[in-house]
Amino acid sequence: MRNKYFIIFITCLGLFILLPPLPEQASLTSVFRLTEEPAVIVQGTSGSALTVNISFGDVEVEQWIQGLSKPYPLLFVDMDWAERFPETVRLIAEKNIPVGLLGVKGIVYEQNTPLFTQQLKRFETTFGVKPLWFRTVDEVFPQSLHTQLWEAEVNALGSSVVWRGGDSPPVIEGEILSIPHHRDDHILLTELKKVYKGRTFTTIEDMLFKTTVKTKKIPE
């Protein structure tokens, strides 16, 4: 009887050692379509999610990222900016902060079709993964661009509210707040504490994977 249990134990131990480890949750959601047809996600149904578009900033941005705590906002990063500040990119990776690809104005993709593919490759080279999220800087998604996004299995994410400072916007259930941080369009990142008052933020993944998303169609 003891020999029987010993053989079972050895067999189970061997299977445990030989079987490959389960992938982390992040890798399971690295590429995933959240919509069943071409659309831009603009809102969930509950909670609040914070997104920040970054194409400008050095020390201030790095210090702000160092001070972030969970639940983290979703950072949309411009690739020119990311390639200029590899230490900040490394910090984002070390803290496992969710990051998406920030593009240029939507109309540019109609004039320069290969641009999205080029940006996507640069993102993968810099961050080591394909982005789950993409946003143009003006949240305009031409049909030709969306076709590329759909084929690449990258989700188009807009926002419910763009906040550029001043009084905190009223709370909307399921809202996706967008904060621009560009050379000619930015606020002090310390001002973000205003939007935290009266809100309980969650990650964009928790909001959208657990609830029904609200979308708008891509213009033809």
pLDDT tens-digit readout, 172-196:
999 999 999 999 999 888 888 889 8
Q: At residue 16, does pLDDT exceed 90?
A: no
Quick one: pLDDT at residue 19? 37
Quick one: pLDDT at residue 60? 93
pLDDT above 70 as % of the chain? 78
| Cis peptide bond prior to 219, omega within 30° of 0 | no
Q: How sure is the predictor about 208, in pLDDT bands with cuts at 50, 70 and 90?
A: confident
Quick one: pLDDT at residue 92? 97
Quick one: pLDDT at residue 126? 97
Q: How sure is the predictor about 2, in pLDDT bands with cuts at 50, 70 and 90?
A: very low
Torsion of CA 80, 120, 124, 26, to 10 degrees: 110
Of residues 194 and 104, more confidently modeled: 104
Helical ranges in 32-84 per DSSP H: 59-67, 79-84
- Mean per-residue pLDDT of the chain: 83
Listing DSSP states for 151-189 in one string gives HHT-EEB--SEE--SSSPPPP-TTEEEEEEEBTTB---G
Q: At residue 38, does pLDDT exceed 70?
A: no
Quick one: pLDDT at residue 214? 58
What mean pLDDT do residues 122-133 have?
96
- The strand pairing partners of 214, in sequence order, are 43
pTM score of the predicted model: 0.81
Q: At residue 23, does pLDDT exceed 60?
A: no
Residues contacting residue 101 through CB under 8 Å, at least 6 positions apart: 76, 77, 79, 119, 120, 123, 131, 133, 134, 135, 154
Specify the DSSP class assigned to residue 132: S
What mean pLDDT do residues 69-78 have?
96
Q: At residue 144, does pLDDT exceed 60?
A: yes
User: Phi/psi at 192 (nearest 5 deg)?
Assistant: -60, -20
Q: At residue 80, does pLDDT exceed 70?
A: yes
The tokens of 66 are what? 């160092």
Domains defined along the chain, listed by start: 34-216 (3.20.20.370)
